[in-house]
Structure 1
Amino acid sequence: MTEAFQRVALPTGVELDVKVAGDSRDPAVILLHGFPESHRTWRDVQPDLARDHFVLAPDQRGYARSSKPPRVEDYAADKIVADLLALADHFGLDRFTLVGHDWGGAVAWMAALQHPTRVERLVIVNAPHPLVFQRSLFDDAEQRRASQYITRFRDTSIDQGLTGKGLEAFFASGFARLLTRAVGGEDKAAYLDEWSQSGAMTAMLNWYRASAIIVPAPDEDPPRPAFLDAPFPPVTQPTLVIWGMGDEALRPVQLDGLAAYVPDLTIARIEGAGHFVTWEDAPAVVQAVRDWGI
């Protein structure tokens, strides 16, 4: 197995750092991390897959030392999906298995829906289907309460305090504590270094600010959008959803009714792990993927 870290300039206007592993002649897998991570999400997953796959794990736009465009709209989902396809093109990948966690999973759902000729198979790790998630924010009080951090992250006034001790405090509280509770030592230090890069915190939070997801307040009774009860296109690819059942941010309600939108669906529930399941129980994630046939 070969392994390298490459800087790739894309025609979308950004440069991404990409952890590349495996033989380029083998079937391709692209791994997409979420907030507030990087390619490190897959540290204990990528090496196993690379035994018989060509595996790319990019630091997505806004993260670590990859490019950090300045505007909120630079982080709209269509631009990030465009990065993904441009990255695949750069490595000559016509079709690939796509794996996404958290925000990387959100990108993966969209890419699979919009580009079925490119995404051959889909693996989602603790990342909700877009319609199921939005519906749950209206219909499930527990999920609505758990998602209030999104509203906080959209407040641009928090950015100026996210340096030095303020940065460490941010990652010791709220949603972010779920990661730092799972990661320690040199790994935590590496993340703190990535988060401390100029513009990184604003760029990462801009993913939330660019999103169209509606997050009502816990006591709010907002008008119900018509699209929540309208037809929604199915995901046509074989899809594996891996879920750490102790996820405090994305509740297990995200699995309810999912099969209606994903006809070829396999669900692997991992007990004893939460949102950052690739850190909390990487062997179970690898086993689920391998059992599914990758």
Structure 2
Amino acid sequence: MSIPVSYGQSWQQGEWTVDTAGAQLSVTEQGNSCGQVVILVHGWPDTHHLWDGVVPDLAKSFRVVTYDTRGHGRSTSQGTVAEMRIEQLADDFLAVVDSVGADQPVHVLAHDWGSVQVWDAVCRPGAHRSIASFTSISGPSLHHMGRWMNSRLTKRNPKALWQWLTQVLSGMYTLFFMSGIVSRTFFRVFGTRYLWSLFLRIVERVDREDIHLSETLTDDMVSGLRIYRANIFRTVLFPHDRFTSVPIQLLVPTRDPAVRPASFSDIDRWTADVEIQRVRSGHWLPFKDPALVASAATAFIDKHSPKE
């Protein structure tokens, strides 16, 4: 692991790799060397560049750590489906936490599958000893999602059944993503930076200058499809009770086509301390409104940081 290089009195920047279960994770740190540690975790099909618009605001006050999850960007993988299980991705995240060497629990901001894997970490026994707070965007615990969907069916009233149906319809795209050679071929052909940027501009209404994509986007799209095959059926269809005492902030986009806002309606069952902020946005909120993401995360981190 390389030693971060300091610039000036409080600015710090560095890069290193973390070896974990057959993968090498590329990690970058920047920001205020005297601040609380904030780790940012991306989802599919992104890399650490998802946070390029968010980091500058956070770096004024915090030590900001970003990394490419296994099989994405500059991080390697073994190329198997099994290694993409949420439990392994959560282990990877905790390995990054350990590599930072913070003397206090870290704060986390995550999106999409990044949030899903961090949910697994914060629901583990003793998680509060290493994680001080978690701000989640568009990425539920798959166990919580499974329990919620089961509860909608058992209620057997029109509202609950409608919520179940709309979430099922919203998640139908995952069947295509799990189709193997069909989906891989599709993204090899159409998963270009130009077309993905066009999708984000038209569907998500993101300004061109706020879209930050990796040069490895097509490879990341294809590699990341393994996450769906490794987790959807075995977790959502066979969920377990998962609780956390880590303070949680949910930023819930109201126009998210993949995760319906109603799916978080039972979150109090699984969390000891949760705050929910609904945001008028689509799925890619870190691109759509990076200033809002940074502001909300900062306020929540300050609330759950040690008082001097």
State the TM-score, normalizing by the size of structure 2: 0.79
Q: Could you tell me which residue of structure 1 aligns to residue 36 of structure 2?
A: 27
State the TM-score, normalizing by the size of structure 1: 0.82
Moved more, 88-97 or 243-252: 88-97
Change (3 A) 1:234 1:39: same
Q: 1:45 aligns with which of 54, 58, 64?
A: 54
Q: How many residues align?
A: 276
Q: Could you tell me which residue of structure 2 aligns to residue 275 of structure 1?
A: 283
Deviation at 1:75, TM superposition (A): 0.8
Q: 1:103 aligns with which of 106, 113, 117?
A: 113
Q: Is the 8 A contact 2:50 2:212 kept in 1?
A: no
- 1:252 counterpart letter in structure 2: P
Deviation at 1:188, TM superposition (A): 5.6
Q: Could you tell me which residue of structure 1 aligns to residue 90 of structure 2?
A: 81
Deviation at 1:105, TM superposition (A): 0.4
Deviations 1:57-103 (A, max 9, x none): 11111112211321100111121112112112222135211221110
Matches within 5 A, 1:116-195: 116-138=128-150, 139=152, 140-157=164-181, 158-163=183-188, 165-168=189-192, 177=199, 181-182=203-204, 185=208, 190-191=213-214, 193-195=215-217
- 1:160 counterpart letter in structure 2: T
Percentage of pairs with the same residue: 24
Q: 2:222 aligns with which of 202, 210, 214?
A: 202
Q: Provide the C-alpha distance between the structure 1 equivalents of 2:69 and 2:233, rounded to a whole number of angstroms.
A: 20
Deviations 1:22-48 (A, max 9, x none): 134421111101111111221122221
Tell me the secondary structure at the aligned position of residue 86 of structure 1.
helix
Q: Could you tell me which residue of structure 2 aligns to residue 221 of structure 1?
A: none
Deviation at 1:3, TM superposition (A): 5.9
Q: Over aligned residues, Cα RMSD in angstroms? A: 2.9
Structure 2: gaps (5+ residues):
1-9, 153-163, 303-308
Deviations 1:160-187 (A, max 9, x none): 3432x432499669xx945774456577
Change (3 A) 1:144 1:266: same
Tell me the secondary structure at the aligned position of residue 128 of structure 2.
coil
Change (3 A) 1:66 1:11: closer
Q: Could you tell me which residue of structure 1 aligns to residue 122 of structure 2?
A: 112
